[in-house]
Amino acid sequence: MPTLIDVNIERCGYPGGFEAKNIKFSLNKGDILVITGKSGSGKTTIIRAITGTLEAAGGFLKGTILLEGREISELKPDEVYKFMTYIPQEPWYSVTGYSVYSEVCYTLALDGVNCAEVDFTPLGISKLTDRLTYTLSAGELQRVLWLEALVKNVKLLVLDEPLVYLDQEARKIVKHFIKVALNRDIGVIVVDHDPYQWEHIQPTILYLDNGNVKYYGPWRDDLFALPVVNQRRERMSKGVVVRFKNTWFRYPGGRYILRNFTEEFTRGLITCITGPNGSGKTTVLKLGAGVLKPSKGSIERTGSTIYIPENPLLYFTMPIPRDELLLSSRLNEGKVIDIAERFNIKHILDKPLSKLSSGERKRLAIASAYLAGYEAYFIDEPTGGLDNENSRAVLEVLESLVEEDKAVILASHDERVIKASDRVINLEME
């Protein structure tokens, strides 16, 4: 019986750019492999190679990827599709249907299965069937994609940072379904910057460093340094900057997400809003920053506010970091250089935004907002998908803001953020 997937890469990467070399690993049915490493170590490139999309992304591959002994490039699209399901870090981009029903049924129609035969009850999907997919949270979307994978009966699951946008409850569900998949003899490849999330399964590890294999073999406790948590210093509140009074809010066509919400956000503290997916964390940020208006109740502000979305691309005004910072600093070149050094973004000042990593974009957005001189910063998922080093860099930037008596309000599930925050507000699901 051939192995499920056999990877033997001499070289792969992008012409004139990043290259990974001598990557060899294999996976049998019912086995799990965790690919880990810092940002820029080659995890995404390897994922593209094993899912057969590297060349479509402008890359090259010298080597072989065998799926049950057959070279991936020689397989028909529907053979590859039936063999594996890839669930990316941002699950909303791997959904094609506008509603949960159309998404699941279309996926099955590719396989010739009529969705009238499908049971939507596992994973609680039956409650979501009429919902529009762009209104679902990351956790809900992942559940939809899991259902598709289970119904399709795939042999291999490839999951990129599957826990990043999930609350604790949803994380438990994903971990449970990975166990279900393994029991069904499905092979699982997980990419995660934090291998400790998978310690309980003792997976095989592929540890990448700058495009090379640093370690490949069974789980070892001594391989990775434990994540360093930013030590929280004792800080004092320096006065209220935003006050929610009996605030209610709902989006068009939706139910009330916030009901009678009363809260104060203060200068000099990092406040983290956490809670289940869909509980209204992002909505609180948008309301606090004044980009949404409450349906009922009031919000008072005593200082200027800014909202930095989870996708920082929506924040920027200029296409080049230097121009963005110059705009925010009112053309003060000296300040731009100073802040670029402080936020560790000097090396990317002249790179186009499209070439920046998530961590670089997040730090740039915060730097730009800082230069514009706001008093309260409402930031969505500031460390989402970042490795420990990048996450620590972002958290240090946020700490420097509160030391200057700014208010920092974050929405996050990330334990690293929660531990570094002075106050944590846990939103309950309405």
**Token reading at 192:** 């995660």
**Residue 320 engages other proteins in binding (rule: CB under 8 A):** no
Judged by CB, which is closer to other proteins: 82, or 235?
Answer: 82
Positions in 130-149 near other proteins (CB under 8 A) = 130-134
- Tell which one of 1, 16, 74, 93 touches other proteins (CB under 8 A): 93
**Token reading at 286:** 């948008």
CA distance 175 to 172: 5
**Residue 322 engages other proteins in binding (rule: CB under 8 A):** no
**Residue 293 engages other proteins in binding (rule: CB under 8 A):** yes
How many Cβ atoms sit within 10 Å of the Cβ of residue 218?
A: 9
Burial class (CB in 10 A: 0-12, 13-18, 19+), 331: exposed
Strands 156-160 and 84-87: parallel
Judged by CB, which is closer to other proteins: 40, or 309?
Answer: 309
CA distance 97 to 135: 12
**Residue 111 engages other proteins in binding (rule: CB under 8 A):** yes
Contact map string, positions 383 to 412, toward other proteins, x by CB under 8 A: ------------------------------
**Token reading at 1:** 């019986």
For the CB of residue 48, give the shortest distance to other proteins in the complex, in Å: 8
- Tell which one of 28, 102, 212, 344 touches other proteins (CB under 8 A): 102
For the CB of residue 174, give the shortest distance to other proteins in the complex, in Å: 18
For the CB of residue 230, give the shortest distance to other proteins in the complex, in Å: 27
CA distances from residue 402 to 200, 244, 354, 406, 412 in whole angstroms, order as listed: 37, 20, 30, 5, 18
Counting residues that bind other proteins (by CB under 8 A) gives 64
**Residue 332 engages other proteins in binding (rule: CB under 8 A):** no
**Token reading at 285:** 């940020």
Positions in 367-386 near other proteins (CB under 8 A) = 372
With residue 207 as reference, give the H or E element that holds it. strand 204-209
Which DSSP letter does residue 326 get?
A: H
Judged by CB, which is closer to other proteins: 153, or 202?
Answer: 153
* Region from 46-54, 170-178, 201-209, 415-423 binding other proteins, contact rule CB under 8 A: 46-54
- Tell which one of 66, 201, 292, 425 touches other proteins (CB under 8 A): 292
- 152: helix, coil or strand? helix
CA distance 197 to 29: 22
CA distance 175 to 159: 12
CA distance 259 to 411: 18
For the CB of residue 426, give the shortest distance to other proteins in the complex, in Å: 25
Residue ranges in contact with other proteins by CB under 8 A? 48, 51-53, 56-57, 77-78, 80-81, 86, 88, 90, 92-99, 101-103, 105-116, 130-134, 252-253, 286, 289-293, 305-309, 311, 313-317, 319, 353-354, 372
